[in-house]
Structure 1
């Protein structure tokens, strides 16, 4: 039976967590990555060479490396940062490699595909848009006044309440290959990750948003394990509210949440049902208690979602995790 095709959307460490889980289920994976980073090595290369910021693309490729000597070595090479008193300080090797291939080949997608072949990556990595993007956020300060925060790195660190985010340019062109991947997928996964700067931006690129709304694929949202600076004080329900605000017509089939991150299960189940979906509670965090997703636990939870839909007409083939976690929690269930 043909394995299901997954598209995972996001950026940074959140997308890496999803990809690390998905590569245990299938090699039919496409990562669609945000391209609004303006800080660190990515920001410097973006400003100096007028290219897409490569950092989140690099992290996605690294997450798709196999857990073998080859995969671990190339993952470490890709992620290695120089330390010096000169211009190379804190540049990531993978960022330089990606940009070099873009210059040599003159094609963004070909360059990323070549890196994927070098790494023997279990899937494909694509940018969500064909041009670099900037993020702006309307915020409410602690004293009730309103303001605007500009730039992905600044929005990610703001502690003011974010009312809304938008992209510059306002209606950026989507990458055609990313749109095609979403339309051809069996399953689309949003989150976890920085909600306003990595997850929601995909819903603000018109062609990509249209594909997310109209694809026949089923849609899964993986919730964060804790709030971040940009979502300070927001629980899972408020995260779903933010999705609804920026994409009122978005439909979800399942929401995966860790029980320890949910204060009111009934309320979250009700919010999920409002999107047309079902809530699955599973322990997906690491066993050491750190607020990081465990790849095997998350893979098992995603597999449970797929299995739950197998009885539906036209459901895609089910993946099976390539391992089991010794401490996996199986007490949760799909709320209907």
Structure 2
């Protein structure tokens, strides 16, 4: 597959997906589709979810923001969608973009119609889709919450899982095995490049692989399928995880999934031994490990733990042409 203007589909959520979309739009793609997790239960999204029973809008809002037009008007829309109210009143803590999605969903009678209308207003570079058309919950089996480290305790809720002081061993969606959004399935099947990650591994990345129809679409897609590893383990849910363990967790939660590439920052794994472990883990899901310089540096030239969109775009361009 070699396409200078690929159709790109990116799966994830939160800040990881935001950075990925900033990169994919630099490819001059024929299309971009963001497929977003829907289990957030905290902050403004959690409040709107509980009050209206809607798909939590926060991660979808962030994706819409990342895809807003790359000009002064688009920048204004980006700031508007991301604006969060202060103070201590009823609006305190709410994101304006979340409220806009909630209001348009009621006016138009559809969450997807709301996302699409905001995309029109912001002259979006792509389309934003929830991975399923209902809000989900995440429940994890966590060790280390008792004196006996062998005892596993269930922890429910995305925020609780992300901030647990214990060690997450496995997660599941509630309800289990939900039906995929048909639009998301079609976007994966028709893509030239599919990306998964980076992001919170248990709450933004793995949930996509617990939706059976999305796994089938990934396995049957002719796209180049790339998993983007995080630059470092995250405090809380993946504290102390090696890159190899991230891949083992992926294959444990989706034993049938196959991908083509694992994209890793050159400086995240430097020893030959660690790279050997990662490459053997990647081979179990049919993937080759691709090492590239992917991290952003600050004004002083020091490395940060955030992906650089330009560097990530260069890596995606190479994969799309392979």
Normalised by the shorter chain, which TM-score bucket?
Answer: over 0.9
Aligned equivalent of 1:290: 304
Matches within 5 A, 1:73-112: 73-112=76-115
Structure 2 unaligned segments of length 5 or more: list them. none
Deviation for aligned residue 1:213: 2.4
Which shifted more, 150-159 or 134-143? 134-143
Aligned residue runs from structure 1 range 1-336, under 5 A:
3-25=5-27, 26-141=29-144, 143-144=148-149, 145-228=151-234, 229-263=236-270, 264-288=274-298, 289-307=303-321, 309=322
- Distance in 2 between residues matched to 1:256 and 1:249, nearest whole Å: 20
Q: Give the distance between the partners of 1:235 and 1:24, measured in 2 at CA.
A: 30
Asked whether the 8 Å contact 1:235–1:262 carries over to 2, the reply is no
Q: Give per-residue Cα distances to partners, 1:144-179, cap 9 Å, x unaligned.
A: 121011000100111312111101111222211111
**Range with bigger deviation, 251-260 or 55-64:** 251-260
Note the residue ranges of structure 1 that are not aligned, 5 or more in a row: 310-336
CA RMSD of aligned residues (A): 1.3
Specify the SS of the correspondent of 1:252.
Answer: coil
- Normalised by the length of structure 2, the TM-score is 0.92
Aligned pair count reads 308
Larger strand fraction of residues: 2
Q: Using the TM superposition, give the Cα deviation of residue 27 of structure 1 relative to its aligned residue in structure 2, in angstroms.
A: 5.0
Contact 1:137/1:148 (8 A) holds in 2: yes
Cα offsets for 1:51-110 (capped at 9, x unmatched): 110000000011112332112111000000011211100100100111111111112222
2:224, 2:319 within 8 Å by CA — same for their partners in 1?
A: no
- Cα distance in structure 2, aligned partners of 1:138 and 1:273: 27
Question: Any conservation in 2 of the 1:280–1:305 contact (CA below 8 Å)?
Answer: no
Distance 1:296 1:2 in 2: 16
Structure 1 residue 258 displacement after superposition:
0.7
Deviates more, 1:289-298 or 1:168-177: 168-177
1:104-133 per-position Cα deviation (integer Å, ceiling 9, x unaligned): 111222211110111111010000011100
Matched position secondary structure for 1:286:
strand
Runs of at least 4 residues of structure 1 off by over 3 A? none
Separation in structure 1 between the aligned mates of residue 4 and residue 169 of structure 2, nearest angstrom: 43
